[in-house]
Amino acid sequence: MLLWRRLLVLFSLAMLMALADKAHAGKFEFRVTGVKRSDVLNIRERVDDQATISQKKILGQIPANSGGVYGSGATLRVGSSRWYEIRYKNVRGWVNGRYLQPVSSDLGSELESNLFCGGTEPFWALKVERNTAELSRPDGPPVRYTVAIREPFQGRKDALALRLVSDAAPAISALVQHKEWCSDGMSDLEYAFEVRVIGLANG
């Protein structure tokens, strides 16, 4: 039986590396704003609650007005603030979204990059690269797919239609779209994209 499943889309390290080479990386490329010229934006190892944020390990610092800050798509609401998981140069951690300004509102470049999609009930992972994809599930070996269709959904810049085909398994269709915000229902993390997949058997 074919089922629609509503799942999270996480951005893999491979995607983040791809974004670093793009002149306009869209919503997930940021510039630091609101920080005094003589100050820096701290990159924290993790954030749990508002009361202990200042005690968390500082992994790195971003100078005021700097660009080249790339988000993974994962965010976390802590008190009244939304924290973003980011990468700056070779440092990956969390910063307060209050001090981030998107470079562009065009999401096209993210949707063209490599994607890592994760689902629950049952757990599975789908890695989509330029022309290939791989579906992993705990009940069997990974299945390789060819990306037969990868195009904007109905001409939209914030949604991507995918059609994956394989000689070893039924074809999969997927719709990846921007959403503020999507939760996995299992943690406090929220993500900026969701994927709806048809073609996964139940169980």
Averaged pLDDT of the chain: 75
The answer on pLDDT for 13 being more than 90 is no
Question: How many domains does the chain contain in total?
Answer: 2
Same domain, 177 and 111: yes
Same domain, 122 and 188: yes
Same domain, 63 and 124: no
Domain that residue 168 falls in = 2-12+106-201
What's the CATH number where 33 sits? 2.30.30
pTM over 0.85: no
Question: How does DSSP assign the chain, residue by residue?
Answer: -EEEEEEEEE--HHHHHHHHT-S--GGGEEEE-S--TT-EEEEES----GGGGGGSPEEEEEETT---EEEEEEEEEETTEEEEEEEETTEEEEEEGGGEEES-S--HHHHHS-EEEEETTTTEEEEE-SSEEEEEETTEEEEEEEEEEEEEGGG-SSEEEEEEE-SSS--EEEEEEEEEEEE-SSSSEEEEEEEEEEEEEP-
Per-residue pLDDT tens over the stretch 155-202: 777 788 889 999 989 998 988 876 665 666 666 666 667 778 877 654
Same domain, 126 and 88: no
Per-residue pLDDT tens over the stretch 90-148: 899 999 999 999 886 455 555 566 777 777 767 788 888 888 999 998 888 999 999 99
Q: Please check whether residue 18 lies inside any domain of the structure.
A: no
Q: Of 105 and 75, which is predicted with more confidence?
A: 75
